[in-house]
Amino acid sequence: MKRLFQILAAAVLLAGLSVLRPAEAQTIDEILSRGTINIGVLVDLPPYGILNAQQEPDGYDIEVAKLLGGYLGVKVNLVPLTSPNRIPFLLTNKVDLIVATFGITPERAKQVMFSIPYSAIENVVFAGKDKKIAGIQDLKGLRVGVPRGTVQDVILSKTLGSAVKLARFDDDPSTYQALLTGQVDAIAETGLTGDKFYDSHPEGGIERKFTLLQQPNGITMRKDQFNLHQWVNTFVYFTKNNGELNALYEKWFQKPLPNLPVF
């Protein structure tokens, strides 16, 4: 009887969770009157987001986030995220928006709202020099590492299904490390980050194989933040036109901002 009561109490507790209302609207006015904006960023994806020598978040995304806060005239509170918990943090209201190299896809847009693109990323397959991999079909039968739930994860599982053995990791550094230690045969990851990492580990003998896709990234909000969304789009449009975004891009990537299509 006592046991039954315990189980019932646990069930009631779980049911209670479902009446919580985790996400609530966050408008420009609310942010302005609060005086701070909470922005989710990645700190494990150089040069998009890193921790600098002072252990503070730094990188292209972080500078864009600071620029955004500067134009809003509020204090920026940076919240470090990992790639799988980007949407949960946003939906549970822990951050107001995220600037976290988040690729724009229709699947994601069912849950969140994207601004027009502010950066682009190259998704590249890396593997050892001895492996002959020229296209996606060559990955059949191999163990391929991806960060969980990323665009490359979806592409590979949709195209190859069970023909490829995907190893999903919780963050980017584990994915890069898994290839270096030979735990996987190949990985699909961010091109520039991979170049930097594998250049500093030449003993791994790892090189770029082919580009999976070019992915434009958007600043991401909850899907009911229309008011904030309109302002963020205006911010991206403006800083693209006045060259500020390009200057940041050149600082971190040593090349000009690629042509970013808008929607």
Partner 1 sequence: MEYVFHFGDIWEARDELLDGTLLTLRLSAVSMVLSLIVAVIGAFARTSGPAWLRGIVAAYVELIRNTPFLVQLFMIFFGLPTLGVRLDANTGALIAMVLNGSAYTIEIVRAGIESIGHGQTEAALALGLSRLRIFRLIILPQALRVVVPPLGSQFILLMLNSSICSVISADELTAATQDIQARTFRPFEAFIVAAGIYLCLSLAFSGLFAAIERFAFGAPAEGRR
Interface residues with partner 1 (CB under 8 A) are: 7, 10, 14, 17-18, 20-25, 84, 87-88, 91-92, 107-108, 110-112, 145, 148-150, 153-154, 167-170, 174, 177-178, 181-183, 222, 224
Q: Which is nearer to partner 1, 143 or 240 (CB)?
A: 143
Closest contact distance (angstroms) between CB of 25 and partner 1 is 6
Exposure letters 135-172 (e unless 16+ CB within 10 A, then b): ebebbeebbbbbbbbbbbbebbeeebeeebebbbbebb
CA max distance for the chain: 71
Residue 66 half-sphere exposure toward CB, CA atoms < 13 A: 11
261 phi and psi angles, rounded to 5 deg: -65, 145
Closest contact distance (angstroms) between CB of 21 and partner 1 is 6
Q: Which is nearer to partner 1, 43 or 113 (CB)?
A: 113
Closest contact distance (angstroms) between CB of 217 and partner 1 is 17
What CA–CA distance (Å, rounded) separates 61 from 252?
Answer: 10
Strands (E), the chain: 36-42, 50-51, 57-58, 75-81, 97-103, 112-128, 143-147, 165-169, 186-190, 206-222
Q: Which is nearer to partner 1, 107 or 255 (CB)?
A: 107
Closest contact distance (angstroms) between CB of 143 and partner 1 is 8
Q: Which is nearer to partner 1, 92 or 137 (CB)?
A: 92
Closest contact distance (angstroms) between CB of 178 and partner 1 is 7
